[in-house]
Every structure is written in C-alpha cells, then in structure tokens.
Structure 1
C-alpha cells in the first residue's frame, strides 16, 4: 500500500505538469492563430490545449487527489494522511481559484502560484513515504 500511496502522489504531481504544458500549448496556439490573421474573442472556440487543461484540472487531478486521500488511510505512513489531506485541500483550492478567476482575472495569479504548491506537496509526500518505518520489537 505504501507504493500505491507513492504512485498516486506522483500522479497528482504529474497532472500538474500536464496542466502547465497544456495551458502553455493553449495560449501559444491562440497567439499563432492571431498572427495568422485569426481573431480571438468571445465567439472563439477552445483549442486542444484548453480542453486538456479543463479535463485534467476539473476531472482527473481532483479524482486522483480523492483516491490519494483514501489510500492514505490504509498506507500506514506516519504523516501520510496529513500530506494527502493537504494535497486534497490544495486541489480543492485550485479548482475554486480557477472558477473565481473567470470573474476576477487577478485571481488567476493565485491559481498559478497554488499550482506550484500542488506540484511540490505530493512529491514531498511521496518522498516521505519512501523512508523506512521504524519497527519496534
């Protein structure tokens, strides 16, 4: 169960990496389209980068974070539930910040900064789980 805990921690962190790559792809695609004479306005459709960012951010990462939290209760890792709980909390905050940023774009800055925490915390959790557990006789 310890290795399952580590896998889900790394999957959450990997999802954040996919998020960063997909949002960069999305907006560089928009810029390329504008350079080619296209128009980006309220009638413009989303591109594959936007779709990937939405699917991974609103579906996959929250699902992985929930599974990670559930697994943490069975993994018997000292502090494991705490790290998974923080990861879940950061995930919920990230989704909330994303929705808030549509009304107040400056909140998007916090969304971006929280992504760094959401990358680092599960990696720290996974590394913490790799430590050997002291066995008492």
Structure 2
C-alpha cells in the first residue's frame, strides 16, 4: 500500500504539471486564433487545452486526491494521513478558487499559487512513502 500511496501522490503532483501545460496550450491557442482573425467572446467554445485543463482539474486530480486520502489510512506511511489530508484540502481549495476566479479574476492569481502548493505537498507526501517505515518502539518495562 505504501507504493500505491507514493504513486497516487506522485500522480497528483504530475497532474499539476499537466494542468500548467494544458492551460498554457489553451491560452496560446486562443491568442493565435485571435491573431488569425477569430473572435473570442462569451459565445466561444473552449479549445482542446482549456477543455483538458477543466477535465483534469475537475475530475482527475480531485479523484486522485480522494484516493490518496483513502489509501493513506492503510498505507502505513508515517504522517501519511496528515499529508494526504493537506493534499486533499488544497485540491478542494483549488477547485473553489477556480470557481471564484470566474467572478473575481484577480483570485486567479491565488489559483495559480495554490497549484504550486498542491504540487509541492503532493511531492512531499510521495517522498515520505519512499523511505522505510519508522517504528516507534514500545516502552520497555523498568527493571527493578
């Protein structure tokens, strides 16, 4: 289960990288299309990059974070539940920031910054599962 925990945490971190790539693709595609004479307004359809960003951010990464949290209870990773809860909480915050950003675009900066926090914490969680489990020895009875 430790390896499952490590893989899930790593996939969340890699997912954030994929998110950065897809949103860059989406907006550079939009800018190119506008330069080519197309109109981008509220009636425009999203391009591939924007759609991929939405799918990854609304379904794939939250599902991975939830699976990481569930697995954390069985993985035997020191502090694993705590780190999985932090990852899950940051992912929930990330989705909330995305929705708020549509009404208050300046919040989008926090959405970007929080993405880096998700990637960092998920990476740290994955690294915690890579090392050996440290057992706390039971206290020995005092000899008289």
TM-score (norm 1): 0.97
Aligned to 2:141: none
Asked if structure 1 preserves the Cα contact closer than 8 Å seen for 2:78 and 2:134, the reply is: no
Name which one, 1 or 2, has greater alpha-carbon Rg: 2
- Runs of 4+ in structure 1 deviating by more than 2 angstroms, as ranges, are 134-137
Aligned to 1:94: 94
Partner SS, residue 105 of structure 2: coil
Asked if structure 1 preserves the Cα contact closer than 8 Å seen for 2:25 and 2:49, the reply is: yes
Q: Please say if 1:127 is aligned against 2:103.
A: no
Q: Flag the structure with higher helix content.
A: 1
Q: 1:10-31, CA deviations, whole angstroms, 9 ceiling, x for partnerless residues?
A: 0111111111000000000000
Q: Please say if 1:107 is aligned against 2:107.
A: yes
Separation in 2, partners of 1:14, 1:130: 16
Q: CA deviation at 1:134?
A: 2.8
Q: How does 1:1-137 map to 2 (within 5 A)?
A: 1-135=1-135, 136=137
Q: CA deviation at 1:113?
A: 0.3
The two structures, once aligned, show a CA RMSD in angstroms of: 1.1
Structure 1, unpaired ranges of 5+:
none
Structure 2, unpaired ranges of 5+:
139-144
TM-score (norm 2): 0.92
Q: CA deviation at 1:44?
A: 1.1
Separation in 1, partners of 2:13, 2:126: 10
Asked if structure 1 preserves the Cα contact closer than 8 Å seen for 2:4 and 2:71, the reply is: yes
Separation in 2, partners of 1:8, 1:89: 15
